[in-house]
Amino acid sequence: MKNPMKRRTFLRLGAMTGLASGLTLQTAGAASDAAPATGQGVKRYVTLGRTGMKISDISFGSSRLRNGEERLVRHALDMGVNYFDTAESYTDGMSESVIGNALKGDRSRVFLATKMSAGSDTSADAMMATLENSLRKLQTDYVDIFFNHAVNDIGRLKNPEWHEFVNRAKAQGKLRFTGISGHAGHLAECVEYAVEHDMVDALLVATNFGEDPSFYERFTGSFDFVANQQALPGALEKAHAKNVGIVAMKVLRGAKLNDMRPYEQGGATYAQAAFKWILRNPNVDAAIISMTSTDQINEYLGGSGGLAVNDTDMALLAQYAAMTNMSYCRHACSDCEGSCPYGVSIADVLRTRMYATDYGDFAFARSEYAQIDHNASPCLSCDGKPCQDACTHSIPIAQLCGPTHQLLS
Ligand code: SF4
Ligand code: SF4
């Protein structure tokens, strides 16, 4: 049961004291001399539910892949990655084209997933046109999974045109399996609906240690009011029971410019700990992550095959949570929805802020910000009072949204 006051108190204490009593954090010092454990590539392949596809447990996300970066895709392939996730909207279509260029000739060795954002009134013909455009860019006749992208509204799942499109595309051999992806509010509801109505073979969901109720049990005993996405574990369990394949994304909970090197010891890295946390979840099959350099690919794949989270990993995860709890807008949270009289899409604004301030990718952040229907321009002339207590995680919404508009518009 929610208890916002207690949660806020706890989080403020956490920020001051190192998350919670009973937790011993590593002390920040000089960056560890040990190089990150690179792991020599993929060590585990998993069956993605009813699709039967045997995919690399850590796979290639491409939301930031740009022209000329085919070598990154090839490096991941050489390291054993065989599942590549893209979307028609990523990097203005560059992502699909780069993957197509990089993997032509190797289509039979890999699984390809792409996405489109199909709305509640998108026609089957429009969906087909989008899929065919993706196939051209990917230089293939079919995709393995076609996701309805960033679903945060059950109304989008009720569109009968989606079913007509899927049946036609399957009959024409243009797609094998379907799914939904989600990282905004109402994620658990949408997952439950899609699973109950047997609409999906696979799910791509934003989830990470910091939104997993069980992460906090160690620190809070029987109190679980800190956690977010209380309904998501149950929804994923139901999906898994129906043999729906489940891929996690946003596993690092932001990261990148939140430099964890001073806390990393003995070659173990924060990213690897975050992967291990999510991959040990019996209801999660695999994870994708945006891979933006060969060093990063090597580091991330150091987490492949790791299903045990040790004390060093836990300390890194807890340190990161303590550093970011007051600024990280939780994926799939919608607790503040309706608090802004001007209708600002607070969660979307703060997600794009994360792309800029945490990932350091201003081009991607600006491109995503431009797609927000109700951006943060009203915040520039608002006193911030309506939303000042709206975040159940104590994020100072007004202080972050206004500057985000100035930064990204
Ligand atoms: S600062 Fe004002 S305009 Fe901006 S989100 Fe808060 S209430 Fe809405
Ligand atoms: S600002 Fe706070 S309440 Fe609003 S979506 Fe983000 S984490 Fe949830």
Distance 28 CA to ligand 2 centre (A): 29
Does the structure show a pLDDT above 80 at 12? no
Residues 71, 150, 79: CA angle, nearest 5 degrees:
25
Q: Which protein residues touch ligand 1 with a CB less than 6 Å away?
A: 340, 342, 344, 346, 376, 378-379, 382, 384, 386-387, 397-398, 401
Looking at ligand 2, which atom is closest to the CA of residue 337?
4
Q: Pick the residue whose CA is nearest to atom 4 on ligand 2.
A: 336
What does the alpha-carbon distance between residue 156 and residue 170 come to, in Å, rounded to a whole number?
A: 20
Comparing 39 with 133, the larger pLDDT belongs to: 133
Tell me: pLDDT of 21 over 60. Answer: no
Please say if the pLDDT value at position 11 is more than 50.
no
Confidence bin at 242 (pLDDT 50/70/90): very high
Q: What pLDDT, in 10s, does the model give residues 358-386? A: 888 888 899 889 989 899 999 999 999 99
Contact (CB, 8 A) for 61 and 291: yes
Domain 45-324 has CATH 3.20.20.100: yes
Q: Which residues is 174 bridged to in the sheet?
A: none
* Distance (Å) from CA 400 to ligand 1 centroid: 10
Q: Which ligand is nearest to the CA of 401?
A: 1
Q: What is the pLDDT of residue 5?
A: 35
Contacts of 68 (CB under 8 A, 6+ apart): 98
- Point out the least confidently predicted range of 164-173, 203-212, 384-393: 203-212
| Tokens 């995860």 belong to residue | 317
Q: Which atom of ligand 2 is nearest to the CA of 330?
A: 7
Least confident of 7-16, 112-121, 399-408: 7-16
pLDDT band at 323; cut points 50, 70, 90: confident
Q: What's the N-to-C CA distance of the chain in angstroms?
A: 38
Q: How confident is the model at residue 26 (pLDDT cuts 50, 70, 90)?
A: very low
Q: Name the band, by pLDDT with cuts 50, 70 and 90, for residue 186.
A: confident
Is 326 or 122 the better-scoring residue by pLDDT? Answer: 122
pLDDT tens for each residue of 38-48: 557 999 999 99
Mean pLDDT (the chain) is 86
How many Å lie between the centroid of ligand 2 and the Cα of residue 391? 5
Question: Which of the ligands is closest to the CA of residue 331?
Answer: 2
Proximal ligand: closest to the CA of 387: 1
CA of 392, closest atom in ligand 2: 3
Which stretches of 302-396 are DSSP H helices? 311-324, 346-357, 362-370
Strands 175-182 and 286-290: unpaired
What local confidence, expressed as pLDDT, does residue 184 receive? 66
CA distance 72 to 297: 8
- What ranges do the domains of the chain cover? 45-324, 335-408
Give the pLDDT mean for 318-332.
80
> By the 8 A CB rule, do 190 and 152 touch?
yes
Q: Position 43: which residue type?
A: K
For residue 134, count other CB atoms closer than 10 A to its CB. 24
